[in-house]
Amino acid sequence: MTIVYIRPDKLFLSAHEQLQYINSYAVANNLVIDDEFVDYTSQSKRLDERKKVTSYFQSKEQATLLIYDVWVLSTSMEDLIQMISCLLKNKYTVHIIKHSVIISQDSSAMLILGLMDQLRQKLRNDAKRVIGRPKGSRSNSKFDVYLNEIIEYIRAKKSVSEMARLLHVSRSSLKDYIESRELRQIAFGSLVSHTQEDAEEQVISTIICPN
The distance from CA 207 to its chain's CA centroid, rounded to whole angstroms, is 20
In the prediction, which pLDDT does 134 show?
Answer: 46
In the prediction, which pLDDT does 135 show?
Answer: 45
pTM: 0.70
Which are the contacts of 24, defined by CB distance < 8 A and separation ≥ 6? 185, 186, 187, 188, 189, 190, 191
Rounded distance between C-alpha atoms, residue 184 and residue 174, angstroms:
12
Q: Mark 40-62 as b/e (b = at least 16 C-beta within 10 Å).
A: eeeeeeebeebeebeeebeebee
In the prediction, which pLDDT does 136 show?
Answer: 45
Which are the contacts of 72, defined by CB distance < 8 A and separation ≥ 6? 5, 6, 7, 18
Rounded distance between C-alpha atoms, residue 149 and residue 131, angstroms:
35
Rounded distance between C-alpha atoms, residue 46 and residue 91, angstroms:
23
Q: How many other C-beta atoms are found inside a 10 Å radius of the C-beta of residue 132?
A: 7
Of 1, 4, 44, nearest to 20 (Cα)?
Answer: 4
So where are the chain's domains?
Answer: 2-136+187-205, 144-180
In the prediction, which pLDDT does 186 show?
Answer: 66
The tens place of each residue's pLDDT in the chain, 211 residues long, gives 999 999 988 777 887 788 878 888 888 888 999 998 989 888 888 999 999 999 999 999 899 999 999 999 999 999 999 999 999 999 999 999 988 899 999 999 999 999 999 999 888 887 766 444 444 445 567 887 787 788 789 888 999 999 999 999 999 999 998 888 777 766 665 554 445 557 888 888 888 888 7
In the prediction, which pLDDT does 69 show?
Answer: 93
Rounded distance between C-alpha atoms, residue 82 and residue 171, angstroms:
47
Which are the contacts of 122, defined by CB distance < 8 A and separation ≥ 6? 71, 136
Q: Which CATH number fits domain 2-136+187-205: 1.10.3720.10, 3.40.50.2300, 3.90.950.10, 3.40.50.1390?
A: 3.40.50.1390
